[in-house]
Amino acid sequence: MEFEDIYKTYWDRIFRLCMGFVNDYDVAQDLAQETFIIVWQKLETFRNESTIGTWIFRIASNNCLRQIEKEKRFQKSDLPIHLTEEKHYSIEPQIQLLYKCIAELPETDRVIISLELEDVKQAEIAKIVGLSEANVRVKIHRIKEKLTQKFKENGLQ
């Protein structure tokens, strides 16, 4: 697969994954861009031991986790939401709340639910995070329950 095709196929999904981690539009864009720089640099070393998508999601997840480690001085729930109309883009309030709630989850849960939201197969998620498929299914169920509860607390269904 050519890099340009990979970029076009995965850009939106990787950006949304990054948003799930950092809840900041500009930082998510930077992280997604950095992910594709790494993909570009390492594409010839890809060994087809997993799907290209799994490989890219793993790179993006690791990249986001490194960023979070650097920014650890911030509380996850205090991460700024820079999704304002004055920046010439808008995201529905429910989606903003979803990103905020995901950003408050523990790191492994953020990876799992962000990949689940991108329709990555649970077997692939298990490989990315190093858990059994059964464990991933249970975690997804519990994460969804947590997010549903947070939405209810905020008056949204």
pLDDT at 41: 93
Are the C-beta atoms of 88 and 150 separated by less than 8 Å? no
Are the C-beta atoms of 12 and 60 separated by less than 8 Å? no
**Distance of alpha carbon 132 from alpha carbon 53, whole angstroms:** 19
Average pLDDT across the chain, whole number = 82
pLDDT at 79: 47
Are the C-beta atoms of 87 and 25 separated by less than 8 Å? yes
**Distance of alpha carbon 46 from alpha carbon 6, whole angstroms:** 13
Tell me the CATH number for domain 3-153: 1.20.140
User: Six-digit token pair at 105?
Assistant: 């989850």
Report DSSP state, residue 53: H
Each domain of the chain, given as residue ranges in start order, spans: 3-153
Q: Exposed/middle/buried for 100, CB within 10 Å: 0-12, 13-18, 19+?
A: middle
Could you tell me which of 100, 101, 114 has the C-alpha nearest to residue 64? 114
For residue 33, is pLDDT > 70? Answer: yes
For residue 110, is pLDDT > 80? Answer: yes
For residue 133, is pLDDT > 50? Answer: yes
What pTM was computed for the model? 0.65
